[in-house]
């Protein structure tokens, strides 16, 4: 038999680099995953840590893309500017994880470690004592 036997594994040493994780997700196979963000999140729905990493990696920066000269530098209409937001809004797990990561890293760490459910962390984060602590912390920062 020659070296082109169908059982011979094909090795591909292809190096690809992307500036954004979403570009890797959507790129065709061998250069990326060949899917979209929603499908990747569904595939990883059982692992809250992976879902959090996907959300963190694909979260858009605040404001217009870097180098955009046509974007308005002021926001006169909050309704229109918020309607174009691509980050998830509403009462879903992605938003909850993002808010915990931003405002309550202690609860975020407990959720990722499996010590606390996402729902329990959200409830704990809304307790009067917790809200008072958050308010005092923000006053101290400003």
Q: What secondary structure letter does DSSP report for 31?
A: T
Q: Cβ-count burial of 112 within 10 angstroms (0-12 exposed, 13-18 middle, 19+ buried)?
A: middle
- pLDDT tens-digit map of 85-142: 555 555 577 788 888 888 888 889 999 999 998 888 888 877 766 667 667 776 766 5
Lowest mean pLDDT among 26-40, 49-63, 76-90, 107-121: 76-90
Contact 33, 25 (CB under 8 A): yes
From residue 72, alpha-carbon distances to 41, 81, 106, 113 in Å are 32, 10, 37, 41
**Cα dihedral value 127, 132, 138, 142, nearest 10:** 170
Q: How confident is the model at residue 58 (pLDDT cuts 50, 70, 90)?
A: confident
Q: What secondary structure letter does DSSP report for 32?
A: B
**Which is nearest to 117 in space by CA: 91, 93, 90, 89?**
93
- pLDDT tens-digit map of 72-89: 555 544 444 444 455 555
**Which is nearest to 45 in space by CA: 97, 110, 123, 83?**
97
Instruction: Say how far residue 22 (Cα) sits from the centre of its chain.
Output: 10
């Amino acid at each position: 038999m020659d070296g082109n036997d169908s059982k011979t594994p094909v090795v591909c040493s292809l190096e690809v680099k992307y500036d954004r994780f979403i570009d890797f997700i959507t790129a065709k196979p061998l250069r990326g995953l060949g899917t979209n963000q929603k499908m990747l999140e569904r595939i990883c729905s059982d692992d809250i840590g992976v879902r959090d990493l996907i959300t963190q990696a694909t979260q858009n920066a605040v404001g217009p893309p870097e180098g955009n000269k046509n974007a308005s530098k002021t926001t006169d209409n909050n309704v229109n500017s918020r309607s174009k937001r691509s980050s998830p809004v509403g009462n879903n797990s992605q938003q909850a994880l993002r808010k915990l990561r931003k405002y309550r890293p202690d609860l975020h760490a407990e959720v990722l470690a499996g010590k606390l459910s996402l729902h329990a962390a959200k409830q704990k984060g809304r307790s009067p004592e917790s809200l008072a602590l958050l308010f005092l912390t923000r006053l101290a920062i400003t």
